[in-house]
Amino acid sequence: MNSRPADKLAICCAQLNSTVGDIAGNAEKVRYARSEAAAQGADLVVFPELFIAGYPPEDLVLKPAFQAACRAAIETLARETASDGPALLVGTPWVDGGKLYNAVALLDGGAITALRFKVDLPNYGVFDEKRVFAAGPMPGPVNFRGVRIGVPICEDIWGEEIVECLAETGAEMLVVPNGSPYWRQKGDVRLNIAVARVTEQGLPTIYVNQIGGQDELIFDGVSFGLHADCSLAFQLGAFEEAIVTTQWVRRGATWICENGPMVAAVEAERADYAACVLGLRDYVNKNGFPGVVIGLSGGIDSALCAAMAVDALGAARVRCVMMPYKFTAQESLDDAAACAKALGVGYEIIPIAPAVEGLEKALASAFAGRARDVTEENLQARARGTILMAISNKFNLMVVTTGNKSEMSVGYATLYGDMNGGFNPVKDLYKSEVFRLSRLRNDWKPAGALGPDGVVIPDNIITRPPTAELRENQKDEDSLPPYSVLDAILERLVEREEPISTIVAAGFDRDIVVRIERMLNIAEYKRRQAAPGVKVTLKNFGRDRRYPITNRFRDSGAPLPSPDTSLVTGQPAKTEAFDF
């Protein structure tokens, strides 16, 4: 075992992509990182929160067999530190005294030399750790080769008390393992929290965050260090793995990082796009799909999803299908073909007229005497959904769903039709953001993306008015407000939870706001059945916003039809009944 004087410490940040449940694979990543860190002269390698289990493990962590397997992996890794090389600080579930903790284990000299348990368990937004873990006791620092290191875990630094306790019990610096998911501007929030703790206690801080996609959550990395004066000591890249050793030297009463790396942050819309690509890539790869299939309609949502899929997986793993009907314009056919050519993907045309007309014929007697309405429109979407699912079944390709947040907010989607699929990279992007990211991708490509440079989404797709093409000359804004208005109202209703009166006071038409709020509530039934998708906003549909489906509250104060009326009279219930 190598050792250094207590006035020098080489700490390696293992900003890595773990997989929930892949204990053996995660342990191999620990071994690889230890080998790389040894070559860099590291004394200690720090891994993200719950790394050996993958984060977040949700209720999987309650399985005794899973707990035992995580513990066995940690004990094996501990024994391996008897050989020359750095010590390890690894996150893991840990059962102690009959309680399950979110823990970190210090592995050094062939043994588990220290354990620390997370104290502040987050229970808001995407987090529900109180459901599965017990809160640990207030911690003191660990003594590592003559240096007293405080090891608060993720949320433990979001308040003052735990860091204050570590400072009062002699910590010289903080090393913080994290599983902090991405959402827009989250990096600024993390940095400000860390700066606040350093300002209060004067302890240099190393913040190690994981990267990768886990279902709807994306972890962006951007691990960093702060000196005692709150200056940035180092910063690692976003949306990419990194094994980087930083050199820390004692200077008087504090520690200084010498020549720490500084990687520029990925910000704003570029970060959103990179998050969507990473989320799609990890969902497909970690779940073992050889590739994906996408219904390429000639519209902007499917075009952006296709671009993201190619950036994530490469063109050879993306198959696009155009499924025209009599309402499909030649312009849509041309645009879809141009987009497929620009991306270099496999592309084919499967007309849906035989399927739609066959369904209408089968239903003719059941629908006798009824006028044509949205039902027949939805048959088109469901025929397309069935074709895509058949291709998925036959070739084991995952269907990429392409509905944006604006559509899913107001129910502008067809159950078992265009909502079919396994994952949706644009699920948390409003339509206005889909337009912006499409323009962005034509001018820029994220690091590591596998798609081509240059324009990949034809300009006509971006400038053409959006349409579902389920009837003649249909436009989205025939039945919806302009997206600039709709998205602004939805952002206030969904992300900010603003009351209708506040939104109206901001200058929006009350009738439109009331209508949008009503549509938002009714569409909960659809959203509950939607595919998972990447979280990029403060509040996504799924892990963040969990509203009841059966819900008769309306902020507008407008009367709702009584239960009897909604069942018997039919017409009043049209404004409140589920729309399939």
In sequence order, the 6+-apart residues with CB closer than 8 A to the CB of 391 are: 293, 319, 321, 397, 399
Q: What angle do CA 416, 484, 473 make, to 5 degrees?
A: 55
* Cα–Cα dist 38/53, whole Å: 24
Catalytic site includes residue 49: yes
Catalytic residue among 13, 29, 49, 276: 49
Tokens of 412: 């502008």
Strand-by-strand arrangement of the 205-209 sheet: 142-144, 147-150, 173-178, 205-209, 224-226, 232-235
Catalytic, out of 12, 13, 70, 154:
154
For residue 362, with 0-12 CB atoms within 10 Å meaning exposed, 13-18 middle and 19 or more buried, which class applies?
Answer: exposed
Contact 221, 15 (CB under 8 A): yes
Task: Look at residue 292 and give its three-state secondary structure.
Answer: strand
Name, in order, each residue with C-beta under 8 angstroms of 425's C-beta and a sequence gap of 6 or more. 276, 277, 279, 280, 305, 308, 309, 312, 400, 533, 534
What residues are paired with 343 via a beta bridge? Answer: none
Would you state the torsion angle of the CA atoms of residues 210, 275, 406, 577, taken in this order, to the nearest 10 degrees?
-40
**Residue of 13, 70, 118, 186 marked catalytic:** 118
The tokens 């024994």 sit on which residue? 79
CA-closest candidate to residue 47, choices 256, 219, 228:
219
Is residue 118 part of the annotated active site? The answer reads: yes
Q: Residue holding tokens 């959904």?
A: 385
* Rg of the chain taking only CA atoms, in angstroms: 26
The residue written with tokens 């008015």 in the block is 465
Does 445 participate in catalysis according to the annotation? no
Active site residues: 49, 118, 154
